[in-house]
Structures are given as C-alpha cells and as structure tokens.
Chain A
Amino acid sequence: MLIDWNNFSPWTALAGGAIIGVASAIFVLFNGRIAGICGILGGLFRPQKNDIYWRLAFIVGLMIAPLIWQLFLPLPIIDIEASNGLLAITGLVVGISTRYGSGCTSGHGVCGISRLSPRSFIATLAFMFAGFVTVYIVRHLLDYELGFKLGLGV
C-alpha cells in the first residue's frame, strides 16, 4: 500500500471531523435528532405539519457553509472527475439506496457508529466495502479492459 503523503492531511481531517462531531452533538442535544442527511431530506417528501422548516434549515446550513468559508478563506480545490451522465446515474442510485438502507455516511457512518448502533456498523461496513471494490474495479480493472478493447494496449 502506497500512502499519498503529499495529499494526506491528518490534522485538518481530524479537526474537520471533530467539527462535524460538534455539529452532530448540537443537533442531537438541542433538536433531539440524528444528523443524517438522507433522513432529514427524506422527511421532506411526505411532510408532516411542523416538520418541514427544521429540515430545510439544516440543508440550507450545508449550502451556505461554502459561502461563509469564503468570507475568510478561499475554498479548497473541488475536483469532480465523474462526467455529467455518470453523476446523473449515481445521483439516482445514491438517492434510492440511502433511503432504502435508512442512511448514508452521516446518519450511519458518523451518528450511528457514535450511538454504537449495530445496524449502522453493518451499513457502514457495507458501503465502505462497496466503495473500495467499486473504485478498484473502475481504476484498476476497467481501465485496463476498456483500454485493451479499444486497442490502446494499456
């Protein structure tokens, strides 16, 4: 295994993670809710009375974060490698699957593991595993195969 020492950012990763933890802490202690983005969003599709604004507010908070960041510092580089078509397909997959599996990286990965929920451990293992395998296939198998088929002789 080769570690990318040039891009590995242990301190900002830990500090950023702790800040995410603080946000989840405020949310559960004051609002009594799990900071799981899919769950928060999901409740907006068949909304109950008095159950809309706090959900929208959390989402708006996420969206204004880069604007607030930019008041003080330039935004870090954003590099989205996927094509528009692939993003449309993966967006659909992520939307359906996170609702079906009742959570994503925030709900299961951060809050669920913090709650010591066995369900969230399993879900996190499942999406991490699938993520590792998918990237392995795309970057280390498919490229080769595609290149081979196209006669590039990679």
Chain B
Amino acid sequence: MQKNFSNIIAVLFSLLSGTIFGLGLILAGMSNPAKVLAFLDLAGLWDPSLALVMAGAIGVGLVAFAMAKKRSTSFLGLKMHLPSLRIIDKRLVIGGLAFGIGWGLSGICPAPAFVLLGTGTTKAIIFVVSMLIGMEIFEKIESYRNKSQR
C-alpha cells in the first residue's frame, strides 16, 4: 500500500516535471526548429538564444545535481538513479556526432519533438514516429549483438 502510494506520487511528479520542462522549452523559443537552426548557423545570421537556454538550465541544474549527488534516496524516498559510467568510448562520440547531424538537418531534438507533437502538426508526428522506429531498431541490434556474444 505504502509502496503503491509513493509510486503514484512519483508518477505525478514525473508529469509535473515533464510539463514544466515543456513550458520552459516553449518560453525559451526552443519549440521552434527554425530558431534552433538559427543557433546552429554560425556563418549566417546567428541567433545565440540556445546558448543562453543552456546557460539558464545548467545554472539551476548545477545546484540541483550537487544536492542530488549527496543523497542516497530522493525526497520521495526513491532510489537515486544517477549514471555511474565514466568511460569515454567510441559509442559516445559516434552517437553524439550522428545525433548532431540529425539535429542539424531537422532542427528537432527529442524533447521539443514531443512538445511539437502536442501541437498536433503532421511534421512532428512523422518525426516522432521515425524516432521511435529508430529506437526500436537500436534495441533490436543491441539484443542481437548481446545474443551473438554469448
């Protein structure tokens, strides 16, 4: 019972975080792919806004994550799930570079994709469906690789 209750509260906090995150993206102008591309276009008419979005987010984030690192459980008593992996490998760099290419061609990254989906535009539906298919392809390749290694 206690466990179920804290699970429900966790889901509500998750919904709240997602909503606030989305509102922040909209206020910051990051729900507009053209504005994201205007940041990436250093040689054109450059719109530095995205850099300030990152600065604002990281400014708050630094404090929050410094607090989070000291805790063994969350305010709701849940386990802290902070990544512990430290190696810098090929996957990280190649994944990052390939993501940058997709981002640079579309102006859309995953979080704004769902905000755009909420506005119901066809283009967002196409992007999100393809992105989910991409993630499923990744899972398929991973499980195939894991099997063949065994």
Can you name the residue of chain A whose Cβ is closest to the Cβ of B24?
Answer: A19
Residues on B lying within 8 angstroms of A by beta carbon are: 7, 10-35, 37-38, 40-50, 52-65, 67-69, 71, 73-76, 78-83, 85-88, 91-111, 113-119, 121-124, 126-139
Q: What is the total number of residues of chain A having a CB less than 8 Å from a CB of chain B?
A: 114
Residues on A lying within 8 angstroms of B by beta carbon are: 1-4, 7-10, 12-35, 37-38, 41-42, 45-46, 50, 53-55, 57-69, 75-82, 84, 86-106, 108-111, 113-119, 122-136, 138-140
Residues of A within 8 A of B98 (CB): 93, 96-97, 100-101, 130
Q: Known: A95-B132, A135-B40. Contact between A20 and B25, CB under 8 A?
A: yes
Contact A113–B58 (Cβ < 8 Å): yes
Contact count A vs B, C-beta below 8 Å: 497
Contact B95–A97 (Cβ < 8 Å): yes
Can you name the residue of chain B whose Cβ is closest to the Cβ of A3?
Answer: B46
Q: Known: A17-B56, A27-B14, A104-B99. Contact between A78 and B42, CB under 8 A?
A: no
Question: Smallest Cβ distance from A77 to chain B, in angstroms?
Answer: 6
Residues of B within 8 A of A89 (CB): 105, 130
Q: Known: A31-B17, A37-B110, A87-B123. Contact between A100 and B94, CB under 8 A?
A: yes
